[in-house]
C-alpha cells in the first residue's frame, strides 16, 4: 500500500514538474515566435496546463480551472504592468479565457454524462437550474445586441451557475471535496496575506495609469472595461473587486470551518493561520456585511453541531450578544459619527439600518427604478443587464444600468417574473440539499457548511450580489458538491426521511439521532 501511495505521489510530482516546464516553454516560444502578448501567452499556457491536469484527473483539472478563474485578475494586472512600458496592450485574452475554459469543461462533462446514459437532471435542484438557464438564454435576444446578452449569459449563468452540474459529477465523496477545500483554503490564505500587504501599500502607479487611460481618455467604453475587469481602486486586488475578495473568503471560511475538526497536523495549523489573517482583514477593513456574514456562519455552525439542549443556550446567547452589540452601537453611534471617518460612520448606521445612507441610496436609486422596469417589462430586459450594459431600451431610458444590489430584484429584472420565481425556488432547493446532507454525521459537516453559507449569502443578497462573480462561482460549485455527495448517500428510490427513520447508519455514515 505504501509503495502504491509513493508511486502516485511521485507521479503527481512528475506531472506538476512537466506542466511547469511546459508552461515556461509555451510562454517563451509564444512571445518570441508568434508575437503574442504576455497576457495572451499566460492565457494559452494556463489553459494548456489545466487541460493536461483534466486529462490526468477530473478532480485535479477542476481544481486547477477554479484557481485559474479566481486568480485571473492578478495575472491580468501583472501582464499589464510588465507590458505597459513597451506599449504591448492588446486583446485581453486572459480576462475571458478562464470562464470560457470552465464553460467548455461543463459542456464536455454534460455531453459525456448524456452519452453514458446518465440523467442530466435527476433531482429537483438541477431541473430548476436547467429551466432557469434556458430562460436566461432566451433573454439574450431581448438585448440591443445578442453579443451583449451572450456576454451577460457567460458572466452570470455559464459557467457561474452551471458549474453545479460539473461539481455534482466530479465531487461525489468527502475525499474529493476535502481536496478541493484544502486548495481553496490555501488560495484564501494567499489572498488574505496579499490583502494585508495591499492594505498598507495602496495603489500601484501603473494601476492609476491604467485607470486614467481607460476611464478618462476612452470614455464610456473605458468604464465598461473597468467594470468587466473589475478594476476597483481599493485594496485586495488579487480578485476582480474588493467585495469579490470578501464574499469568496466568507464562503471558504464557512466550508473549511465546518471541516476543521477532521483535519490535523499542518492542515490544522494552516487553518488557524488562515483564520487569523482573515479576521485581521475584517478588523482592518471594518466592512459591515462581511462581518455580519461571518457572525451568521459562526452561529449557524455552532447551532447545527450542538445537541438539542445546547441549541437553546446558543439561541439565548446569540440574542444576548446581538442585544449587547446593538446597545453599544446606540450609545456609541453619535461618538463614531463625530469622527467623520467613513468606516466608523457606516458602523454607527447599523443601529438604524433602514435610515443608513447606503440603504436609502439603494432604495431610491436602485431598487425602486428597477422595480419600475420590472413592472413595465414582466418578461425581463435581458441577461446582459448584469454586465453593467444598457441591455434594452427601457434600461437605457431609466439610466439605471448599475446593478440593483439585490439578488432577487437583479434576477427578476434580467429574466422576468417567471425567471425570478424559478431562481427563488432554486435557492430554496439548494438550501434543502444542504439540510439533507447536514443530517448525516461525517458527510454532514459539509452540509452544515453549505447551510451556514447559504444563510449568510441570503442576508448579503438583500443589499448586494454575492451569488455572482468569484463568490457565486464557488457557491454553486459547493452546491454541486453537496448534491453529488447527497446523491451518492441517498439512492433515488429512497428518500432521506425513510433512511433517517429506518436505520442508525447508511453506507457507513452514522445517522444523527436528532434532526436539524
- Encode pLDDT of 246-264 as tens digits: 999 999 999 999 988 888 8
List, for residues 218-237, the tens digit of each pLDDT value. Answer: 554 444 444 333 344 444 45
pLDDT for residue 215 is more than 60: no
Residue 94 and residue 44: Cα distance in Å, rounded? 8
458 pLDDT tier (thresholds 50, 70, 90)? very high
Spell 387-418 as b/e; 16+ CB within 10 A means b.
bbbbbbebbeebebbebbbbbbbbbbbbbbee
DSSP class of 364: I
Quick one: pLDDT band at residue 27, thresholds 50, 70, 90?
low
Within 8 A by CB and 6+ apart from 141, the residues are 149, 382
pTM of the model: 0.82
Residue pair 304/316 in contact (Cβ under 8 Å)? The answer is: no
User: How high is the pLDDT of residue 495?
Assistant: 43
CA pair distance 354, 363, nearest whole angstrom: 10
For the chain, what percent of residues have pLDDT higher than 90?
Answer: 30
Q: What is the mean pLDDT of residues 460-476?
A: 91
What rounded mean pLDDT belongs to the chain?
77
First to last CA, the chain: 40
Domains of the chain by residue range: 9-86+93-120, 123-510
Which pLDDT value is given to residue 166? 95
CB atoms within 10 A of CB 113: 16
CB 274 within 8 A of CB 266: no
Q: What is the pLDDT of residues 14-24, one digit of tens each?
A: 555 555 556 66
pLDDT tens across 432-449, in order?
A: 999 988 887 666 788 999
Task: Compute the Cα dihedral for 301, 306, 311, 316 and give only its sign.
Answer: negative
Note the pLDDT tens digit of each residue in 385-402: 554 445 555 555 555 555
What pLDDT sits at residue 383? Answer: 77
- Quick one: CA dihedral 366, 369, 372, 376, positive or negative? negative
Amino acid at each position: 500500500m505504501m509503495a502504491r501511495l509513493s508511486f502516485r505521489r511521485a507521479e503527481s510530482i512528475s506531472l506538476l514538474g512537466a506542466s511547469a516546464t511546459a508552461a515556461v516553454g509555451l510562454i517563451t516560444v509564444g512571445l518570441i515566435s508568434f508575437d503574442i502578448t504576455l497576457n495572451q501567452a499566460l492565457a494559452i499556457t494556463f489553459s494548456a496546463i489545466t487541460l493536461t491536469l483534466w486529462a490526468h484527473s477530473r478532480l485535479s483539472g477542476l481544481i486547477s480551472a477554479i484557481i485559474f478563474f479566481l486568480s485571473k485578475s492578478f495575472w491580468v494586472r501583472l501582464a499589464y504592468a510588465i507590458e505597459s512600458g513597451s506599449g504591448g496592450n492588446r486583446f485581453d485574452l486572459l480576462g475571458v479565457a478562464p470562464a470560457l475554459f470552465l464553460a467548455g469543461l461543463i459542456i464536455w462533462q454534460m455531453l459525456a454524462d448524456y452519452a453514458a446514459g446518465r440523467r442530466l437532471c435527476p433531482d429537483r435542484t438541477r431541473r430548476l437550474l436547467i429551466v432557469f438557464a434556458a430562460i436566461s438564454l432566451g433573454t439574450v435576444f431581448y438585448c440591443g445586441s445578442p453579443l451583449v446578452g451572450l456576454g451577460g449569459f457567460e458572466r452570470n449563468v455559464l459557467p457561474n451557475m452551471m458549474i453545479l452540474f460539473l461539481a455534482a459529477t466530479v465531487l461525489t465523496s468527502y475525499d474529493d471535496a476535502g481536496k478541493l477545500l484544502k486548495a481553496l483554503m490555501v488560495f484564501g490564505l494567499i489572498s488574505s496575506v496579499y490583502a494585508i500587504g495591499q492594505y498598507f501599500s495602496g495603489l500601484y502607479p501603473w494601476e492609476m495609469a491604467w485607470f486614467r487611460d481607460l476611464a478618462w481618455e476612452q470614455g464610456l467604453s473605458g468604464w465598461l472595461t473597468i467594470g468587466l475587469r473589475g478594476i476597483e481602486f481599493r485594496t485586495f486586488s488579487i480578485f476582480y473587486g474588493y467585495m469579490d475578495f470578501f464574499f469568496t473568503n466568507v464562503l471558504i471560511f464557512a466550508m473549511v470551518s465546518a471541516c476543521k475538526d477532521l483535519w490535523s497536523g499542518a492542515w490544522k495549523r494552516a487553518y488557524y493561520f488562515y483564520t487569523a489573517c482573515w479576521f485581521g482583514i475584517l478588523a482592518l477593513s471594518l466592512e459591515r456585511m462581511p462581518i455580519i456574514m461571518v457572525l451568521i456562519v459562526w452561529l449557524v455552525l455552532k447551532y447545527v453541531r450542538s445537541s438539542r439542549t445546547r441549541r437553546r443556550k446558543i439561541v439565548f446567547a446569540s440574542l444576548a450578544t446581538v442585544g449587547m452589540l446593538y446597545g453599544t452601537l446606540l450609545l456609541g453611534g453619535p461618538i463614531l459619527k463625530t469622527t467623520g471617518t467613513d468606516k466608523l460612520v457606516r458602523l454607527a448606521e447599523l443601529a438604524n439600518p433602514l435610515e443608513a445612507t447606503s440603504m436609502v441610496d439603494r432604495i431610491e436609486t436602485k431598487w425602486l427604478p428597477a422595480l419600475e422596469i420590472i413592472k413595465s417589462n414582466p418578461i425581463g430586459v435581458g441577461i446582459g443587464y448584469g454586465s453593467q450594459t444598457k441591455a434594452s431600451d427601457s434600461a437605457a431610458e431609466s439610466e439605471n444600468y448599475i446593478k440593483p444590489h439585490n439578488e432577487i430584484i437583479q434576477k427578476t429584472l434580467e429574466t422576468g417574473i417567471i425567471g425570478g420565481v424559478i431562481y427563488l425556488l432554486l435557492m430554496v432547493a439548494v438550501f434543502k440539499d444542504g439540510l439533507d446532507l447536514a443530517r448525516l454525521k461525517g458527510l454532514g459537516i459539509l452540509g452544515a457548511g453549505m447551510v451556514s453559507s447559504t444563510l449568510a449569502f441570503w442576508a448579503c443578497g438583500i443589499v448586494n450580489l454575492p451569488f455572482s462573480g468569484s463568490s457565486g462561482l464557488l457557491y454553486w460549485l459547493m452546491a454541486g458538491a453537496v448534491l453529488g455527495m447527497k446523491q451518492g448517500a441517498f439512492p433515488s428510490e429512497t428518500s432521506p426521511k425513510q433512511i433517517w427513520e429506518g436505520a442508525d447508519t447508511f453506507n457507513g455514515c452514522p445517522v444523527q439521532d436528532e434532526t436539524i
